[in-house]
Amino acid sequence: MTLRVAMLLGVLLVACGPAAAQQSVPAGLGGVLPDVQSPSGAAVALKWLAIVTVLSLAPAIIVMVTSFTRIVVVLGLLRQALATQQLPPNQVLFALAVLMTLVVMAPVYQQVHADAIGPYFAGELSGEAALAAGETPVRAFCIRQIEAADNTAEVYPFLPDEVAAADGLRWADVPTLSMIPAFVVSELKVAFAMGFRIFLPFLVIDMLVASVLVSMGMLMLPPVLISLPFKLLLFVLADGWHLVVGSLMQSFQ
């Protein structure tokens, strides 16, 4: 019965054609919706589409040029090393990563606001000039992190051929679209290196517990179940959260 109703509706829509579709649009929306059949209307529609696309990608772009990537990866690896399943929850880890990111990026935001956002809203700068002025502190932050981690070589795969072929790397010649992925790769390398150092003591505990269980013939008992309390005890006695958070905050130049 449902299939027959759907087929009947389809036949009616095809029979009515564009006229019915035009009549279904309220008359009051004529001044709001652009006429895509005219060149000017199509340009307006494409402009709105571009604005919506940029707004949807803005959070991801902001995340990629901040310290959030390194922080959230290290915290995720810490949870994997502790083997505490979903504890702390994702909401807690993301909230902590966001708050730490706000603290780290506060000087950069203040400079961007002073150089670009404030003058733009005051009418002293145009949109393009404000974008260029706000881009400078963000680029400086990314360059400092890449150089501090000695990951300058990560920039070359994303450079244009004429820039990559030049002798020596000059940051002024590196486009922003090439610097952003290089910065993300550099942050991932630093985060995984920090995660490796976090994993080592917990891996030793897992190996010791597994060796003891095998020597006692308790092969059916999961080693993770026995090693979890010892790992939590070691983490608490070493003041692990202070060490991890402090190391993350101090790792940014």
**CB neighbour burial string for 5-15, b if at least 16 within 10 angstroms, e if fewer:** eeeeeeeeeee
Whole-prediction pTM value? Answer: 0.71
Q: Quick check: bond before 34 cis, omega within 30? A: no
The pair of three-digit structure tokens given for residue 119, joined into one six-digit string: 């003058």
Q: Are 186 and 151 in contact (CB under 8 A)?
A: yes
Three-state secondary structure call for residue 160: coil
Q: What are the pLDDT tens digits along the chain (253 aa)?
A: 443 434 443 433 334 444 443 444 444 434 444 554 556 666 667 766 766 776 676 677 777 888 888 888 888 888 888 888 777 888 888 888 888 888 888 888 888 888 877 877 877 777 778 778 888 888 888 888 888 888 888 887 777 776 666 666 777 777 878 888 888 888 899 899 998 888 888 888 888 887 877 777 777 777 777 778 888 888 888 888 888 888 888 888 6
Q: Which of 89, 67, 65 is nearest to 245 (CA)?
A: 67
